[in-house]
């Protein structure tokens, strides 16, 4: 099969980590007989420097013409003084909106080999973690009416039945493929939008009788994630709550450099990116951990191209390399073997082959 991928290297360490993910995809293509056609696209700070805007129309169009998008990272202190609507991060919002990507999947997986990296006690972690946070991406307070009125500022949290239903459906479908356990997180004791959220999720649950559904207030969910994270399998929640909880879940695993994400819409087109930022302080030094981007590419294989065996091959390769004691600086511990960005890519490719 032939698949078209728009690659957005972005800023800072973005180009280095996407390079390794592209090499891994090509290794998968060689092994399983697929052709991945890559097109490099400008977005973020580098696009501001080149074209004066974070997401040129041609870049968005190129992504729309692709089967999937692989993104490195955008932003950095260099562009921090720009007005909010002209910053590199606007490229992300523009891509999500322009490509109709309303579901953000953030797996928080703690590999057994990295248990020591978690800030939580070993007895709480047990034999590792595997949580999937499903975050609504194009609604809620981040996209609601906002403004200033004299010395007052306001942002509006707003959801429709359709917006809640489509994100909840994705969460139910994922739960069906996992352990058939779903926790919906809201603030229904206070917020009217959360009461609608809970009603819609409850209504939709009748279509998925095999999935056990619990509702949890966001403050309790934040507490439970550190008290007993193993109670969670799939979490579905709104844009802002999901933003916060997925970062909390990622820190439980010990390194943000290990975590991938996927943004999906109604079709098979998705955007895949690591959770970490552009880390300009280590850019160009062969120090960045490419694993989050490589696993993001594995998610692309699974969710956009429906290539489950190929995705598993990448994930297994990553686990084998970690089990063999190889580490980049961010996950380094005593007695392990320190490697750079490119070397980590080489080791994972070796395992795939």
Catalytically active residues are 142, 187, 219, 243, 247
What is each CA distance from 238 to 57, 137, 143, 190, 288, in whole angstroms? 29, 8, 12, 15, 31
Provide the CA 114 distance to its chain's centre, in angstroms.
20
Question: Residue 186, by phi and psi: left (phi above 0), alpha (psi -120 to 50) or beta?
Answer: beta
Residue with tokens 């977005």: 43
DSSP string, 218-284: HHHHHHHHHH-GGG-SEEEE-HHHHHHHHHHHHHHTS-GGG-EEEEE-SSS-EEEEESS---GGGTT
Token reading at 243: 């933003």
Distance CA 302, CA 135 (A): 18
Residue with tokens 């910053």: 87
């Amino acid at each position: 099969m032939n698949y078209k991928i728009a690659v957005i290297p972005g800023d800072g360490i973005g180009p280095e980590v996407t390079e390794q993910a592209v090499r891994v995809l090509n290794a998968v293509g060689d092994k399983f007989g697929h052709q991945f056609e890559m097109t490099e696209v400008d977005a973020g700070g580098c696009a501001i420097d080149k074209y004066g805007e974070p997401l040129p129309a041609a870049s968005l169009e190129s992504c729309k013409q692709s089967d999937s998008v692989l993104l490195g990272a955008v932003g950095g202190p260099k562009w921090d003084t720009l007005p909010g609507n002209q910053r590199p991060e606007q490229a992300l919002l523009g891509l999500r909106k322009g490509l109709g990507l309303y579901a953000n999947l953030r797996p928080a997986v703690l590999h057994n080999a990295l248990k020591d990296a978690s800030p939580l006690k070993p007895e709480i972690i047990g034999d590792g973690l595997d949580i999937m946070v499903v975050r609504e991406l194009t609604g809620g307070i981040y996209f609601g009416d906002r403004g200033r009125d004299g010395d007052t500022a306001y942002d509006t949290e707003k959801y429709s039945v359709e917006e809640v239903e489509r994100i909840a459906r994705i969460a139910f479908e994922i739960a069906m493929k996992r352990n058939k356990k779903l926790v919906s997180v809201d603030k229904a004791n206070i917020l009217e939008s959360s009461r609608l959220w809970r009603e819609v999720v409850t209504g939709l649950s009748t279509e998925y009788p095999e999935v056990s559904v619990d509702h949890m207030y966001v403050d309790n969910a934040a507490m439970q994630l550190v008290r007993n994270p193993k109670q969670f399998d799939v979490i579905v929640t709104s844009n802002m709550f999901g933003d916060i909880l997925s970062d909390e879940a990622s820190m439980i695993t010990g390194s943000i450099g290990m975590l991938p994400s996927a943004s999906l819409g109604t079709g098979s087109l998705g955007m895949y990116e690591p959770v970490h930022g552009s880390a300009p302080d280590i850019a160009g030094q062969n120090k960045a951990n490419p694993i989050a981007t490589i696993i993001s590419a594995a998610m692309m294989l699974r969710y956009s191209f429906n290539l489950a065996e190929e995705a598993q091959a990448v994930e297994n390769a990553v686990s084998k390399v970690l089990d063999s004691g190889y580490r980049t600086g961010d996950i380094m511990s005593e007695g392990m073997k320190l490697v750079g960005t490119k070397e980590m890519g080489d080791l994972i490719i070796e395992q795939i082959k």
